[in-house]
Amino acid sequence: MNNSRMLALFVSAAVVVTPTSVDAADIRGVANVQDDATLSVSGRRIRLFGVYIPALNRSCGNSVRPLSCEEQRAARALNFKLSGFVRCRARGKYSDGSLRAVCWNDRIDLGAYLIERGLALANPEAPFEYHALEKVARSQRRGLWTFYGQGDY
């Protein structure tokens, strides 16, 4: 088994672990995915903590590089993945009132899910596992790394 695959398995196992305590900051409910890949849960707008979804191409396709918007690709991936209830642990608020949170669905960290598929980047504040997943996605040229390769983004 090559090193990238072993790292991916290790990180995936670490990210799947769900927190055991539920406190007042937890939000549970059915999530509706918005076009910009934010979630609407129990009437609250939630952005995934530690995740940056680049808007590489605001027109969502042009004659030079016909890409779909990364935001839309991430939103479609979340729609595909979500089933039933999500649980989000709030990590703060943005100035627009939206929450910054880590969210799980069926014990899967949704931020890690997007990063692992190359549909999002890890913010500097993201957990170590997110950064490791980003490196694996980049080395395996997944998602946005298909077009931008190994170099700096």
Rounded distance, CA 29 to CA 16, Å? 19
| 26-76 pLDDT tens trace | 899 999 998 888 999 999 999 999 999 887 554 555 544 444 566 688 888
Q: What is the pLDDT of residues 1-19, one digit of tens each?
A: 555 554 444 444 444 433 3
Instruction: Find the mean pLDDT for residues 122-135.
Output: 96
Domains of the chain (ranges plus CATH)? 3-16+24-147 (2.40.50.90)
Which residues, at least 6 apart from 115, have a Cβ–Cβ distance to it below 8 Å? Answer: 51, 121, 122, 130, 133, 134, 137
Longest dimension (CA), the chain: 50
- The answer for residues whose C-beta is within 8 angstroms of residue 94's C-beta and 6 or more apart is 47, 100
pLDDT value at residue 82: 87
Reading the block at residue 17, the tokens are 């672990």
